[in-house]
């Protein structure tokens, strides 16, 4: 399975940010990096340049799948699971050995980050759909820049991570997955 964690942040002071410094990653909304990682994996692993990604809704709009086919065979299978119900279903599939994905983007908020509880709501506590649409439009207007072309990311690799292929990069940005032993604690969540 493809198990590289490419999430990282560059910390800037707001008074240092100039117009044009604010950029975003691939994707329609401010969710995670699924689209960027999918396109990067397709290129690096299979030499395929993916321009447009098509999401296939599975059980609902907050559990979607993205696949890459090569020579009639599915070679990459990614999923986006938003909201605790979908996360719980994903964990159950994983426990049953019916987990087919190389990468899963997990977000706690149904509808993604912009729909989170920290965002503006109507007086009755419901998400403000008009404001959500405005936020999505504002986000879409920000230019896309690949992380590897960002000078702040390049500086982080040079100064802090000691180069692109250093031991520190492997230790800091790559993740190894292993089985976790179950404990017999009544406080455990039974998913």
**What percentage of the chain's residues is helix, strand, coil (to nearest 5)?**
35, 20, 50
The per-residue pLDDT for 26 is: 66
Tens digits of residue pLDDT in 21-64: 666 666 666 566 788 889 989 999 999 999 888 889 888 888 88
| 79 and 151 housed in the same domain | no
Q: For position 98, which CATH number holds?
A: 3.40.950.10
| Average pLDDT, integer, range 82-91 | 88
Domain containing residue 100: 25-112
- Residue 79 zone, left/alpha/beta (φ > 0; ψ -120 to 50; rest): beta
Number of domains in the chain: 2
In a domain, 39, yes or no: yes
Q: Are residues 98 and 151 in the same domain?
A: no
The residue among 150, 172, 144 whose CA lies nearest residue 36 is: 144
- Is 79 inside any structural domain? yes
In a domain, 83, yes or no: yes
| Between 94 and 178, residue with greater pLDDT | 94
Same structural domain, 89 and 158: no
86 and 32 in a common domain? yes
Q: Clarify whether residues 79 and 156 are in a common domain.
A: no
Which of 11-15, 86-90, 108-112 is modeled with the greatest confidence? 86-90
> Do 56 and 100 share a domain, yes or no?
yes
Q: Are residues 82 and 155 in the same domain?
A: no
Query: b/e map of 35-53 (b: 16 or more CB within 10 Å)?
Result: bbbbbbbbeeeeeeebeeb
């Amino acid at each position: 399975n493809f198990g590289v964690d490419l999430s990282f942040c560059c910390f800037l002071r707001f008074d240092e940010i100039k117009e044009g410094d604010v950029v975003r990653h691939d994707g329609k909304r401010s969710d995670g990096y699924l689209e960027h990682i999918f396109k990067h994996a397709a290129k690096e692993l299979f030499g395929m340049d993916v321009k447009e990604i098509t999401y296939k809704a599975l059980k609902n709009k907050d559990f979607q799948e993205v696949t890459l086919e090569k020579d009639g065979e599915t070679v990459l299978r990614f999923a986006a699971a938003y909201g605790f119900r979908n996360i719980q279903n994903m964990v159950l599939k994983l426990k049953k050995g019916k987990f087919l994905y190389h990468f899963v983007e997990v977000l706690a908020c149904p509808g993604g980050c912009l729909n989170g509880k920290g965002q503006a709501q109507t007086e009755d506590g419901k998400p403000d759909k008009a404001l959500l649409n405005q936020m999505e439009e504002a986000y879409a207007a920000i230019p896309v820049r690949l992380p590897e072309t960002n000078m702040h990311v390049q500086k982080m690799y040079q100064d802090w991570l000691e180069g692109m292929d250093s031991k520190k990069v492997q230790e800091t940005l790559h993740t190894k997955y292993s089985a976790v032993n179950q404990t017999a604690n009544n406080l455990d969540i039974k998913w």
